[in-house]
Structure 1
Amino acid sequence: MLRVTLRQMQYFERLAEQLHFGRAAEAAGVTQPALSAQIAEMEGQLGYKLFERGGGTVRLTAEAQALRPRIARILAEVEDLESVARRGRKVLEGRFRLGVIPTVAPYLLPHLLPLLKRRFPALRIEVREAVTATLLEETSNGRLDGVIAAEPLDEPRLQSTALFEDRFFLAVPEEEAERIAPPVAQESMALERLMLLEDGHCMRAQALAVCGMVKPVTMASFGATSLATLLHMVSHGLGVTLIPEMARKAAELLPGVRVLPFVEPGPSRTICLAWRKTNPRQADFSALSEAIEDSHYAA
């Protein structure tokens, strides 16, 4: 009879995350020999190897990659069950794993994290920054508790609540600002020089939607990994880029950059908080939503 234990699945997940036995053991709060023994026993129960070891590296086998989403779902269900049992605890207490997309994290977290520390001193928050698709999958599979992203979210296993509207602006080189003549129409030829984030970032699709009838051509084959990179390129006259309102202050501090509004009604995105539909921590999500909104409007 197959007897894979919950502990073994937890150790498996830690090792799959860290791909290093020492760091995985530390994350699990056990010694490395104890973790290694449990992984070896789990492999013996399953009848195949889960990790390739050698050359100082650890890799998931094909079998482990196929098994990992199922284990993640089981661990998520167990955590949900434990949350039900802890309903008498205080709001936002203990571990909470929060995913945040890269076009929000640098601008929201400096205000949100201190606020959470003041309001919920017993909260142990862990933040993961990644592109939307990755965060949605990890939230659905239980590796994250919630995610801050931009609507729409194409994930039926999650529910969400809208937090605030984030208007878009156009960052242009200082010497070109008067020629572009704000406010900028979404049909402006200036958008032909629009520089985009690389594939996978939701703001890439949003930027292309803002362009309307104008097709970006100058930098169409180039993609940056962050808004900060794009803004530095703007400051050197290499093109223009779309920025959310939350990044406006940072953009205006850069020399050689001017931030221009769009013709009203201007384009915007809706920032939301999402979580698994089966997650019982509704009071936590309500409190977190309020904290996010407060930190955004206080910024």
Structure 2
Amino acid sequence: MNLRDLHYLVAVADLRSFVQAAERCYISQPTLSMQIKKLEESLGVQIFERTNKKVLPTEIGEHIIASARRILQEIDIIKELAETAKDALSGNLRLGAFPTLSPYLFPQLVALIKQALPRIRLILVEEKTDDLIQQLKSGTLDVALLALPISEDFLESTALFDDAFLLAVQSDHSLAAKSIIGQSDLSGQQLLLLDEGHCLRGQALQVCQINGADEQQDVRATGLETLRQMVIAGTGMTFMPRIAIREYSAGIRYIPFEEPVPKRTIGLVWRKTSTRGVLINELKRLVQQAASV
């Protein structure tokens, strides 16, 4: 057994196809099939069930594949350690953020990273919070921008900036003329919120509870831009984080809240075992700079 065989094994498991796995690994399909067969014979177990239409891991195969993934991840860590020892501000940087933040922060941040860290190869990932935490845990992400607090023993975090919420209403709504929104203004109101799984949904529900408002039950959106368009269409009102507010959008008005202003705290999160402290410190500075643009 060698590392090449483990790569073949994981490719077949990922793609459920010997043909596609061979293409990924840049070898012929018969060669890959032969190597997997040899591996099974050497271990004395069947790793995959094979039919004309599909390939499925066996029960023992699932455990072997999981071990192969861990071994390959450890190899990547060894390589990364060696690279960062040579130059802490070079190599791959796998950065994640959730969907209600990434489209509004990444454009400014990418430009700053390109200028300040020219030897970094930036890989961006947009996923919901739970998925990002799992990717941090598995080692497929280096760092992530998340709404704090994050309660995970294996993670370290630091707050970078606060992102205040504003009330978004149609420009001819009865509240549109107000310069500031108070608790009594929201009492009894129904608001449009994001679908399940978005951290912003949970934050918005807390604001609703505090201010005596409720969720509009018959409509939910999958993203902030959909919420924005529904407000413009007169479907309802919503909370909008300041970072997502454009200087001018026809048909919509954004009104700030009175103190205490509802907000989310955005932080950088990474594994406690990470060896990229120098790069993480530089990234903190760049994220704060991007958020202030």
TM-score, normalised relative to structure 1? 0.82
Between the aligned partners of 2:232 and 2:287, the Cα distance in structure 1 is 31
Between the aligned partners of 1:98 and 1:116, the Cα distance in structure 2 is 11
Deviations 1:175-230 (A, max 9, x none): 1154673411245336732111111110010000111152424x235332110111
Matched, 1:264 2:245: no
Unaligned runs of 5+ in 1: none
Between the aligned partners of 1:118 and 1:46, the Cα distance in structure 2 is 53
Q: Structure 2 residue aligned with 1:255, among 250, 255, 274?
A: 250
Structure 1 counterpart of 2:288: 293
Structure 1 counterpart of 2:114: 117
Matched, 1:203 2:215: no
Structure 2 counterpart of 1:183: 180
Between the aligned partners of 1:266 and 1:204, the Cα distance in structure 2 is 17
Identical residues among aligned pairs (%): 34
- Counterpart AA for 2:265: T
Matched, 1:143 2:130: no
Report the CA distance shift for 1:87/1:177 in structure 2 as closer, same or farther (over 3 A). Answer: same
Between the aligned partners of 1:171 and 1:238, the Cα distance in structure 2 is 12
Between the aligned partners of 1:284 and 1:135, the Cα distance in structure 2 is 19
- Equivalences, count: 290
Structure 2 counterpart of 1:216: 214
TM-score, normalised relative to structure 2? 0.84
- Counterpart AA for 1:137: Q
- Counterpart AA for 1:291: L
Report the CA distance shift for 1:256/1:141 in structure 2 as closer, same or farther (over 3 A). Answer: same
Matched, 1:31 2:27: yes
Deviations 1:121-154 (A, max 9, x none): 2221211111000110011011212211111213
1:19 is displaced (CA, Å) by 5.9
- Aligned-pair Cα RMSD in Å: 3.0
Between the aligned partners of 1:160 and 1:235, the Cα distance in structure 2 is 37
Query: Max radius of gyration: which structure?
Result: 2
Unaligned runs of 5+ in 2: none
Maintained 8 Å contact 2:176/2:253 = no
- Counterpart AA for 1:123: I
Structure 2 counterpart of 1:160: 157
